[in-house]
Structure 1
Amino acid sequence: MSRPLTVAELRDALAALSLDSRGTKNTLKKRLARATRSLSRSSSPARPPARERQTRPPDQLFDSFLVFDVEATCEEIEGPWGKLAFAYPNEIIEWPVILLQWRKKRRRDAGLSEAGEEEDGDDEDDWELVQTAEFHSYVKPTWRRTLSAFCTELTGITQRDVDSAPTFSQLCRNFHRDFIIKHNLFTSENKTVWVTDGPWDLRDFVAKTCYLSNTPRPPWLAGEIIDLRLLVSSFFAGLKETNGPSQLDGSLSNAFGALSVNEEDPQTAAANPAASLAQPLPTPIAGPLSASSAVPIPSTTTSPDPPVPAYLPSHQLTAPSSLSLPSVLDSLTLPPFSGRLHSGLSDARNASRILIDLAHRGVVLQTNRRVPEGGKGGKERRWGWMKGGEGARRVDWEGFLQKERARLSTREAERAVELAQKRLG
């Protein structure tokens, strides 16, 4: 056992370290002990940095996906003016959002881990995309508060549903507080992206509703998004390039044709709204989903009622005849559309199934569209009935409708004259 240092030795040791050598013996001992510990820590090998917790596969760009499909007010415009319905001042009346997030797959072999224990491997194939939460609310319109019979027949949404609902501005506050903040979405730790079935919901319906309700577009409803139809098209186009046209039928070009910028939204374009009444509206899920209720990748098992197609690998798939949700589900050999067509909640849930399956097939889920359009700082779309001013004066739908009917009549008359001249010539 070494002898204790004297006061003189303590002062010499502290001076050698360029430290204060004044004070009592006890003070000098404590000062030297602290210096010795500090030197020991600095000379020891540095600890490796703590491993950052992975929240997504290494090749994927986003942690969370908000699959979104609204329903909006609408009116039936008959005769040759039917396309004018696409310019109608729609207000959002249903707001369903499905939250999908990544998780590590659970081990299938009980001998490799405890029951329910998640794998720790780094293999990108260990991940799966699952549903973790759901938000649903009806929305009260403020421009025309009474729903048309056509709208109720098409969507299944009743006047009672919207009368007791929040307005759009109230909904935005509720959704931000109760869902975005609650799930830590749109943060640096949780990269989040919207997913929509086509551009209409975020580009058109939100723009119209913001205008009609005098509500600025929230920043979390703008920016880069995933257009599911474009993503599906890219997926099947990639299969065509890899496998050649013999593996995919000619319907692929028809599906791509449906992606025209001028394509109108499927809600207003419904040819037979009465057919959608065959199924009741789905029941929203109350609260967040537990891990046991998360929706995994599709099963390959079949069920006699309704019949479920055999789940095929990607190279054996046939391109969809259109990019509608039922057609895409069929082409991916997933179970048929579940729920009621033109119910926002049913549409969002089925769109989620498509995104989950594309992730399972190895598709990188990356953005392919921006809202508002036109790049960073792009301006909202405008329609001819937007007149500025306050209250009802901000909307001149009847005047716009009359002017467009006259314009279309003139165009049709000119075309008839041109056709007659060609026949005579």
Structure 2
Amino acid sequence: MSKRFIHYFCPADIESKYALMVFDDENNHFVPLTEYYQYQLGRVSESTALSYLNILEPYFCWLKNKSLFQGARVDWTNAPLAIKSAIKQYLQKELGCKVRDQDSHEKVFLTNKSKKTVNHFLSAIKAFYKAMIKLGLYDHPNPLVNLDLLGQNIEISGDRKNRQRMPQLAGTEEPISYRKVTDSYFKIINDEWVPEIISDWDLPYKIYNAGEKSNWQLRDEVITRFMFETGARISEILDLTIGDYRNRLDKHEFSAYNKGSFKRRTKFIRISPETLKLLIRYINVERPKYANNPIKFDKLPDDEFIFISQRGGRYQYTAFYNNWTKIIGFAGIKLNPHKARHWFVTSRLRGIYESSSSKAEIEEKKKQLIGYMKWRDSETINVYEHMYDEEKYRDIHEQMIQTYSFREKEYLKNKKMNKPTAVANVVTKQNKNFEEDWLNDLYEGMD
């Protein structure tokens, strides 16, 4: 069995200061990561804290068993020089990066072998040492912070010569078009956010089927359907209240907060009639079994959370994630909850193209999708479109290869039998409705 660090959530019937505990590859309690996760709760979302933990556990296992600095294993408590050396090794050997040394920092170049989690790992390990310093468990400066950069006084000049730059609120200066200077010691040079394109249109049904096999609770079934039908983040769904349902006139809609809206309800989400029926059954039948205040829906206060734990409090992300891993285990796939959001956007974009009759209609529906998702940067959809175009090309190319294979077999078959080839008359999806003028225009454009 391979060595690894692992965490266990605190059982519902046990009182503990820790939401979970981390154990090393020898089943010893690994206090630093346990304390780190607990420290992060309340500072970042539960999903972010758990994702940081999941990405740090393999690193600390590698650090304990494979790291090397000046002929010895590196301990997480070592001075910054040793920690930086270990992280550089990990980036190169385990995450597939190229790292180039600069005067005061390291440049990290992503390659075609790099894992998608590089940026997430660097954020997580930087946050880890920040937490350890705050908790008094690490006696050195943060190894992931560029101390030389912190000592510099970087000023950005304004549009008016020899004048201090006016604040952005004044509206008198051109906006700054480049990124804020980062204080990170490891800087990713060629990083670009790429969304996940989930092209398996049956994915939700596979998860629903796995949920039934795992004997899931009605609460988790409703939440999972919310994820695939609304495109909302799991944290937004778990924070829904009774008032969020009452605030909307349409019975299939809920008010919801958006990332960066500081819990203000700035958007709405919609569910299907089938999911609404399941939600009503959950609220009327399953929820009262665990509620501290088991009264009927119409008398519940607005600030009551819709989804609650077996203790009657808000259903926490860690508890949901624990159940989620059991569900996807029955599906035989690896899938984090956020992938449902990517699936939703991908399927909506495909639906827009397939249901629209003009370019103007496509653009209008895209604007509606951008508004619904509440993307701060409307250019986000362009990234999805680029990936979606690649998916469409793959479909077309696959059809073309199938046609090539068919024509090749027919050619060889007729050649063996000394028959004139008849494949020129074969009608396929490629040459149906074919317009010769289009091909002529293409040739002219290649000149």
Greater per-residue helix proportion: 2
**TM exceeds 0.5?**
no
Q: TM-score, normalised by structure 1?
A: 0.23
Q: Choose between structure 1 and 2 for higher RCO, CA contacts under 8 A separated by at least 6 residues.
A: 1
